[in-house]
A and B are shown apart, each in its own frame.
Chain A
């Protein structure tokens, strides 16, 4: 199945803005992002903590609907899905 993965802002700078992925059945949102980040250590550090879980502040959207980082481990992607990963910014 084809899934679009989009990284916003800083994540996009580190990992590229958007990509189409051929995902296998049973792929979770977290699996998809993990696989796309691959061995990019800076990207991995920005999105995941030391235990390999999403940083709590990372914003994840499945088809423009917010999903919680902890739910991303079990929520599966479907054909045509768009997954977006976004870092809130803090400066002023």
Chain B
């Protein structure tokens, strides 16, 4: 049940989603992996949209080099845990939601505990090994997975619905090399907005999702492109073999 304050706060989006949609947002739990370049704008917009429970995991400390893009963190936060810095800002942005921050590394040992019963997983990490782990958890737990990644002025997004769409391994069987990539804050800002919009549509149940499509943004040329994706039947995560492995 939405309070009078919530009805007022969300008045302009209730025009889009209805009170029922807003109730769905309030009842949802979204796990955001990372409180950095993508995690900052994703969590800010999901918080102000009224996602009832946000779980934000990160194991890092705020550094001055983060501040050109990680907009949850301010100069005064340098040296603080990113989770503490993020939790404080998100709760101030919207006191009507629950913000759970977890200062932890996302790895095979922690992932089940971190994600719990979340209704969706947002990929806001900066490396493919962790993305693959999140993807495996999403497929095994039948949890939608909102992938995003960036470099420089370029980025990519897709929405993975286990059982229905290509999973991250189908799309990227092999990881691109890890690097300290160049980036300007507008790129994760834009890519995170596509991810957050997907989360909202998924939870509310409206619109057409970015499923089996890879959205590509090239900011240098101001071009948007799209690649059609399909499930790989031999995928070792979501293909028949992968499914058999998971049944064991």
On A, residues with C-beta under 8 Å from B are 8-10, 12-13, 17, 55-57, 59, 61, 64-66, 86-92
Contact = CB atoms under 8 A, between A and B. Distances in A.
A8 B225 contact: yes
B188 interface: yes
Contact of A90 (B37, B128, B188): B128
A13 B153 CA distance: 11
Given A10-B151, A10-B154, A57-B175, A91 B37 contact: yes
15 contacts: A8-B154, A56-B174, A57-B176, A64-B227, A64-B228, A66-B230, A87-B176, A88-B176, A90-B178, A91-B188, A92-B126, A92-B127, A92-B148, A92-B149, A92-B150
Contact of B173 (A56, A61, A64): A56
Contacts of B176: 57, 87-90
A91 B216 contact: no
Contacts of A65: 228
Nearest to B170: A66
A44 B14 CA distance: 52
B216 A8 contact: yes
B36 A89 contact: no
Nearest to B219: A9
Given A66-B230, A91-B183, 20 more contacts: A8-B154, A9-B151, A9-B152, A12-B220, A13-B220, A17-B221, A57-B174, A88-B156, A89-B154, A89-B181, A90-B149, A90-B151, A91-B149, A91-B150, A91-B151, A92-B37, A92-B125, A92-B126, A92-B148, A92-B149
Nearest to B131: A90
Contacts of A90: 126-128, 149, 151, 175-179, 181
Contacts of A10: 151-152, 154
Interface residues of B, number: 39
Nearest to B174: A56
Contacts of A8: 154, 216, 218, 225
B34 interface: yes
A8 to B, nearest CB: 7
A87 to B, nearest CB: 6
A64 B124 CA distance: 27
Nearest to A17: B221
Nearest to A61: B227
Contact of A92 (B38, B173, B174, B216): B38
Contacts of A12: 218, 220-221
Contact of A89 (B34, B155, B228, B230): B155
Contacts of B235: none
* Residue among A9, A56, A92 facing the most chain B CB atoms (10 A cut-off): A92
A73 to B, nearest CB: 17
B241 to A, nearest CB: 17
B136 interface: no
Contacts of A56: 173-174
